[in-house]
Amino acid sequence: MTKPANLGSSPMVSRDSGGSLVEQIVRSVACRIDDKLLRTGSRMPSIRQFADEQKVSRFTVVEAYDRLVANGYLESRRGSGFFVRERASLLNNLSPVTQPLPTSQQPDVVWLIRNMFRQLPPQKMPGSGLLPHEWLDGELVANGLRSISRLNQNLLLHYGTQQGFLPLRQQLQLKLAELEIAASPEQIVTTNGVTQALDLVASEFTQPGDTIFVDDPAWFLMFGTFATLGAKVIGIPRLHDGPDVAKLAELAALHKPKLYIIHSVLHNPTSTSLSAAKAFQVLKTAEQHDFMIVEDDVYCDMHPGSAVQPATRLAALDQLNRVIYLGGFSKTLAANLRVGFIATSHQNAIRFSDRKMLSTLTTNEICERVVHKILSEGHYRKHVDRIRSKLDTARHEVTSRVEKMGMQVEYRTPAGMFLWVETGTDTIALTEKALEKGILIAPGSLFSPHQLPSTHMRINVAAMGDEGVWKFLENELR
Amino acid sequence: MTKPANLGSSPMVSRDSGGSLVEQIVRSVACRIDDKLLRTGSRMPSIRQFADEQKVSRFTVVEAYDRLVANGYLESRRGSGFFVRERASLLNNLSPVTQPLPTSQQPDVVWLIRNMFRQLPPQKMPGSGLLPHEWLDGELVANGLRSISRLNQNLLLHYGTQQGFLPLRQQLQLKLAELEIAASPEQIVTTNGVTQALDLVASEFTQPGDTIFVDDPAWFLMFGTFATLGAKVIGIPRLHDGPDVAKLAELAALHKPKLYIIHSVLHNPTSTSLSAAKAFQVLKTAEQHDFMIVEDDVYCDMHPGSAVQPATRLAALDQLNRVIYLGGFSKTLAANLRVGFIATSHQNAIRFSDRKMLSTLTTNEICERVVHKILSEGHYRKHVDRIRSKLDTARHEVTSRVEKMGMQVEYRTPAGMFLWVETGTDTIALTEKALEKGILIAPGSLFSPHQLPSTHMRINVAAMGDEGVWKFLENELR
């Protein structure tokens, strides 16, 4: 057997320096290997010997050696000990060929969405669709995770149930009942956010070549989703109280759509809500031309109630016959949890649930348990109350400053996180300039179902706290 | 203001009884409302009054009232207090109409998969595709969740990055390097399990009407996935050392497939692995007929190494040019985490990542962090070592008992969790009888790309600990 490698006489650990003893050993050994002080292939001291020399417990050495193996620094050979491995060569000798990628010159949907996920500082993202961290309650989510980690561990190991975690669906039944929408847990299917919900519904209800109606403007990501399904997307002009219903009827007669995707309350990007009269007309048109309505209510919990802005849900009128209702918690809890849901007829629920199974098997029950815990413990209501009240202040301040700059806020709604702003200039050009300065703007053409040029942009009132962003806008839009 | 409801004089809480004080109050009040002892619409005592009467802190009462609101028992009216709500009527007056569903008479793919998610006792599921709880390590997962919950909470709130959590992709780079597959983190995309990976790859590489090759037999869920995409699925006979390559070439010339999905090691359901010679021939055929290979390596960590069974990965030969490599942790860590991945060329990675974004936005970074922590801390290797060694024992015992019963184990491989067993009888009929007794069997026809009748069944050697299951089989197969 070869002589073990010489680690030098200096101690590797110190009770005073940072990190656990295991971490200190891992760091020291890894550095010595990276610096070639330990030769590839040489044998490490035995666990016992290392422990004695460094005056640490054997358990500590076992832990440290295990981590070094997991990170490619050591190799464990059964019965003969641990050997130094050339980590750099493990990775580098296999040199992957990465071609340079064509970069899109013109901002398009995919371009903007990719930028949405770039690690820009959140205060530099007035175009973001999320609330800033400090508006949310990380402690709620962290507490949820901690309490799930203390459950019977068997619950963590296996698949979730096909339709989603039952107690969460029961809690959603209550939430829906308060909106006057009757849905038993069997009528609810959980999804990986509203994005998956839209994908499942559109996959199930359309064939390539079919037409899907959306609002114009509308949430841009779904244009891409529907395009991958081969569907034709047509926009219905959105007014202050809902869609242009005359146009809706005219286009429905012409295009025979299969689906109409609509935000009834706090429409993205205009923050408008549907009046009761418009809601009724939309349903009548859907019946007449026999299309389904997908009511995306992801901004539900930001809505201040019918005393402030209309709050008619299409599903409350129709009771999930022709309306498929979508909701989620990405906006008010944490986008990272990826918990959304579909409420629909029992038969549709089975169809969506089977399709979910075929595309992603089950959704993540761990995160569904976290959301269930947060909803059932009652802190959620106060949390969204606080968000709404902060939004009111921010909307007021941002509106007045935007208007002082000479821009026009369309609709001036009394609720929601978005302002739909007429800038008087092409906002794609503005977006390109902003990105050079590390600022993310959401230009109007992205929200156009046909990406038409636009002088509008969407502003997130919660993300306008940065003077640099204001300066940029003032400079460009003078 | 109305007089507050009378809660009776008996104390609602006791320091000795079970549950926290908050839980005790919630239970007591909820019972009184369910039993109509508290009238709908009546006002609850103020928080202060309730706290004084029950000798608990006001904080406790606030918590309890919040939970009662969240669960539909109370309503909070700003400035005037809490009022009893008729929860039953909230739910029941809105009576959802649920039609009885047509039940499938004949077991099909969807039927079996639904049953896989039924809450049957795990020991009654010899047809299950997962290891039993007690073979896995819930503590590993629970520890991971706890440590994630202690992170900077901002990390929990926002979306994950589009391609997946970077440190996890770096760890996967190492894992792949050990298999001699060179993949930079940019070439890796995380997915919601291998199921989503297959859906993304097939969506991106096929049009409706295109042909996809699979092994015959093969993992059944993907047949459904590909059917929803409109693809034609054709099976290539699987032999003891890989596919029948003559047949592969013949069918490729005939059908011009776009993809061939293959398990190179520990094929499900036969537990066979690809010989080096066959691997080479498969790649040559793919090149000649210009189709892509999707190498599903979800059983990777159950493989004992090339000394015991061949372990050639197609991606190690081809270096991710024509081969798209899939992996995941549902089998060895926890299905519930839903963490899988795709390794492919950089350009394909961008395509898959964009498509993932359009169908589910991002994957769950919380669970990706858990998997990263487990992999990088080095406990994972010992955990899978233990699984392999337990599988060896179980496989040996189950094989000899199955053969004593007169059934034939095909291939008798020295590795893996599945036995592919010739029963001599129609296994669909057997499955129906088993289900009447609450036992889940995986009949051969499910693994047939065309659901042909079969006398085979797949046995999970880790799930054969129940004497009732053995008795049933002995009884039926005598």
DSSP class of residue A335 equals G
In a 13 Å sphere around the CA of B178, the CA atoms on its Cβ side amount to 18
- Strand pairing class (B74-77; B81-84): antiparallel
A residues 126-185 near B, CB within 8 Å? 130, 133, 136, 138-139, 141-143, 145-146, 148-151, 153-154, 156-162, 171, 173-174, 177-178, 180-184
Query: CA-to-CA distance for B224 and A354, rounded, in angstroms?
Result: 9
Residues 6+ apart with CB under 8 A from B452: B445
- Residues of chain B contacting A379 with CB distance shorter than 8 Å: 66
Helix, strand, or coil here: A212? strand
Which residues in chain A are contacts of B345 at CB distance < 8 A? 99
Residue A103 is predicted with a pLDDT of 46
ipTM: 0.86
End-to-end CA distance of chain B: 78
Which is more confidently placed, A119 or A85?
A: A85
A243 - beta bridge partners?
A: A238
The percentage of chain B sitting over the pLDDT mark of 70, rounded to a whole number, equals 91
> What average pLDDT does the segment A302-315 reach?
94
The answer to whether the Cβ–Cβ distance between A72 and B174 falls below 8 Å is: yes
* Nearest C-alpha in B relative to A183: B96
Tell me A180's DSSP state. T
Residues of B in contact with A151 (CB under 8 A): 142
- pLDDT(A460) > 80: yes
Q: Under a CB-based contact definition with an 8 Å cutoff, are residues B266 and B218 in contact?
A: no
pLDDT (tens digit, 9 = 90+) per residue, B122-164?
Answer: 778 899 899 998 899 999 999 999 999 988 877 788 778 889 9
Cα B271 to Cα A152, A430, B218: the distances in Å are 32, 58, 11
For residue B182, list chain A residues with Cβ-Cβ distance below 8 A.
Answer: 94-96
Tell me how close the Cα of A226 comes to any Cα of chain B, in angstroms. Answer: 9
pLDDT in tens, A386-398: 999 999 999 999 9
For chain A, first and last CA: distance in Å? 79
Q: Picking from A263-277, A403-417, B123-137, B294-308, which range would have the lowest pLDDT averaged per residue?
A: B123-137
How near does any CA of chain B get to the CA of A155, in Å?
8
Which tens digits make up the pLDDT trace of A207-254? 999 999 999 999 999 998 999 999 999 999 999 999 999 999 999 999
pLDDT of A444 strictly over 70: yes
Q: Residue A153 belongs to what H/E stretch?
A: none
Choosing among 3.30.2290.10, 3.40.50.2300, 3.40.640.10, 3.40.190.10, the CATH entry for A138-379 is 3.40.640.10
Amino acid at A307: A
Dmax of chain A from CA atoms?
A: 88
Q: What residues of B are in contact with residue A173 (Cβ under 8 Å)?
A: 91
pLDDT, average across residues A415-434: 94
pLDDT category at B344 given cuts 50, 70, 90 is very high
Pick the CATH number of B109-135+381-477 from 3.90.1150.10, 3.20.20.140, 3.40.50.620, 3.30.300.10: 3.90.1150.10
Compare all CA atoms of chain A with the CA of B332 and give the residue at the minimum distance: A157
- The mean pLDDT value of chain A amounts to 90
Fold category of B21-92 in CATH: Arc Repressor Mutant, subunit A (1.10.10)
- Which tokens belong to B335? 């299905």
Share of chain A above pLDDT 70, in %: 91
* Res. B293: pLDDT tops 60: yes
Angle of CA points A84, A87, A90, to nearest 5°: 115
Domain positions in chain B are 21-92, 109-135+381-477, 138-379
Nearest by CB to residue B138, choosing from A63, A110, A157, is: A157
Give the contacts of B424 (CB within 8 A, at least 6 positions apart): B406, B407, B455, B477
* Interchain proximity A360–B192, CB inside 8 Å: yes
Grade residue B77 by pLDDT with cuts at 50, 70 and 90.
confident
Q: A-chain residues within 8 Å CB-CB of B359?
A: 195-196, 199, 225, 228, 359
User: For position B109, what pLDDT does the model report?
Assistant: 64
Encode pLDDT of A120-166 as tens digits.
777 788 998 999 988 999 999 999 999 999 888 777 887 788 899 99
CB contact, 8 Å: A103 with chain B? no
Q: Are strands A292-296 and A323-328 parallel, antiparallel or unpaired?
A: parallel
- How far apart (Å, rounded) are the C-alpha atoms in residues A127 and A431? 9
Cα–Cα distance measured from residue A316 to residue B360, given in angstroms and rounded to the nearest whole number: 27
Contact A181 B94 (CB under 8 A): yes
Any idea which of A231-240, A369-378, A415-424, B9-18 has the lowest mean pLDDT? B9-18
- For chain B, the residue count is 478
What is the spatial distance between Cα A7 and Cα A29, in angstroms, rounded to a whole number? 8
| pLDDT reading at A17 higher than 70 | no
Tokens read off for B87: 């929860």
Q: Do B361 and A225 count as a contact with CB atoms less than 8 A apart? A: no
- Point out the least confidently predicted range of A70-74, A404-408, B389-393: A70-74
Which residues fall within 8 angstroms of residue B27, CB to CB, at 6 or more apart?
A: B19
Q: Is the pLDDT of residue A414 over 50?
A: yes
Chain B contact present for A434, CB below 8 A: no
Q: What DSSP designation does A365 have?
A: H
pLDDT tens per residue across span B408-421: 999 999 999 999 99
pLDDT grade for B91, boundaries at 50, 70 and 90: low
Any idea what the Cα angle at residue A83 is, between residues A82 and A86, rounded to 5°?
140
Q: What pLDDT, on a 0 to 100 scale, did the predictor assign at position B98?
A: 41
